[in-house]
Amino acid sequence: MEKKDGPQPGSGSDGYVVTVDGSEVVVPDDGRSLLDVLRGQLGVTSPKDGCSPQGQCGCCTVLVDGQPRVSCVTPARRVAGRTVTTLDGLEVDERTRWADAFTRTGGSQCGFCTPGIIMRFSGLRSAETTDTDRVTRSLAAHLCRCTGWQTVIEAWDTFGDDEAPRLNDRAAERATIEGRSVQAVGSEVALGKGGFAADTAPAGALVAVPDRSGRWVVAETLHEARQLVGKVQGRRTTVDSVPPLDAPPGSWDAVLRTTWVEPAYLETDSAWCEPGGEPSSPLANGGAFGGKVTSPVGGVARELADEHGRAVLALMSREDTVHLGPKRPPVAGGAMADGTGIMRVVRTPGIVEAVRAVAPNLTVEEVDVAGPPTSAAIRAAGWAEAVVLLAGARGSAGPVVSPDGAVAEAEVTDDLISVTVRCGDPLDKTVLCSYCIGAAHMAWSWVTSESLAVDDAGIVSDLTVRSFGIVRAGETPRIDVTIERDDDEQPRNGSDAVFAAVAAATWIHRGTPADWPTGS
């Protein structure tokens, strides 16, 4: 950090002084946000940029004079003369206890959102809050796409409990199977040190961001690059989200029409590359639910690094990921109880094979529709919809067998989602339960609440992270997971089977209305 040396000016054109994690620093008065100062000027990477500058995901939460504050929408000049505490500035003992609590409960998976949540919790602890309901309500300021919130709240209750069980030495193996990419687990991950590209780019790397035409603009800092691009962040549209496909004609036992859906991973696409080198992976410590498999940022970083002869970090904003990132392909299908039927789906490479893997008697029709890109790599895309449609036609969710060979079954009421899963050797039950709880929450949210407005020209209109309809903490029924013994000890992905099973059970519980989302 740049420490104060001698008399310093107050707030004004020359700059002002802020105390960050115990050190006084001089901040130029150039219109930056507090997050820009922390990450760009001071290199403090524990506050994460998940939606900047929308102030809607909570990943950048820090304490200002002891109170939680979303730093991406806090002008830095407003904290002149005040004290800012990031996760790095907490006392070592407190930081360790929070990391242990989140690790032992499975309350942190990719770890991107966890530092902001820990800072929220730290502020509540300092205020001597003990009311779990108040803690749950406080999480309305945050989004976590991985965990489903239940284990996050359990982490609050587990803080300082040295008797809570620890993860075993195969926990990372289970996390990698569930996340479908190499993943780490442990205290460092809970503290936000999961190796995210925007955190690990070499010092002095140029920063590249896309403008509205898709051209990448390069500058010395992210603040400068975004100023050059000059984009004004889009907001939530008032346009209704509607299913883009018509159901096939016929008298069916069940009809299902889904809308455009955003994968909504919180770490936006980023990758860095040295000249002549290989780019870092945009997957970092999370698989992004398949949403980053075809991300262009690695190739962009490599091309620009070679062009400029310097390391380059290619970084998307939240709005960029919404415009450019692949979506779950919408479907419209009709089915009979005997497993026959027709499912129309927005044309997507690999989607026909995905459906046929679980529903060989469904006829799949691909349809060209104006809209954002789609991908069959998104979690259970195509085959989950087929499972749900057939369950609705039968009137019973029943056991779901995933293409991986995992078996899951779910029962849903207004107050409880009960899940059983068999997926080979659990390896680590805490990690497996965490991923299954997260999948159950995602399925409930998908069926009841999630959608993305797309206009007639195929342009996404909903551009804020809150406009995707993700269910917040405290709004999902309790989720109980039972891991059943499996004669086949080969570990397999279980959370995708849980995702499909809970989606089917939730739809049946809602009375199988044709159009999604069904509403709460």
Does residue 232 surpass a pLDDT of 80? Answer: no
Q: What is the mean pLDDT of residues 395-412?
A: 97
What torsion do the CA atoms of 372, 175, 59, 132 make, to the nearest 10 degrees? 120
What is the mean pLDDT of the segment spanning 154-173? 91
- The rounded mean pLDDT for the chain is 94
Asked if residue 4 has pLDDT above 90, the reply is no
pLDDT digits 0-9 by tens, 439-475: 999 999 999 999 999 998 999 988 899 999 999 998 9
First-to-last CA distance in the chain? 48
Q: pLDDT higher for 57 or 237?
A: 57
Query: Which DSSP category does 202 fall into?
Result: P
Query: Does residue 135 register a pLDDT over 60?
Result: yes
Query: How confident is the model over 341-365, as pLDDT tens digits?
Result: 999 999 999 999 999 999 999 999 9
* All residues at 6 or more sequence positions from 449 whose CB lies less than 8 Å from its CB, including other chains: 469, 470, 471, 517, 519, 520
Whole-structure pTM over 0.85, yes or no?
yes
Per-residue pLDDT at 7 = 33
Q: In whole angstroms, what is the distance from residue 135 CA to residue 119 CA?
A: 12
Quick one: pLDDT band at residue 2, thresholds 50, 70, 90? very low
Cβ 102 vs Cβ 95: under 8 Å: no
CA distance 378 to 287: 10
CA distance 89 to 161: 22
Residue 12 pLDDT: 45
Spatial neighbors of 39 by CB under 8 A, at least 6 apart, are: 45, 47, 49, 222
pLDDT tens per residue, range 84-109: 999 999 999 999 999 999 999 999 99
Using pLDDT thresholds of 50, 70 and 90, give the confidence band for residue 228.
very high
pLDDT at 10: 42
382-394 pLDDT, tens digit per residue, is 999 999 999 999 9
Closest C-alpha to 470, from 494, 448, 496, 495: 448
Strand bridging mode 362-367 / 254-257: unpaired
- The string of DSSP letters for 211-231 reads -TTS-EEEESSHHHHHHHH-P
CB 164 within 8 A of CB 99: no
The predicted structure's pLDDT at residue 237: 72
> What are the structural domains of the chain?
16-88 (3.10.20.30), 90-198 (1.10.150.120), 331-509 (3.30.365)
Other beta carbons less than 10 A from residue 235's beta carbon: 13
The pLDDT value recorded for residue 355 is: 98
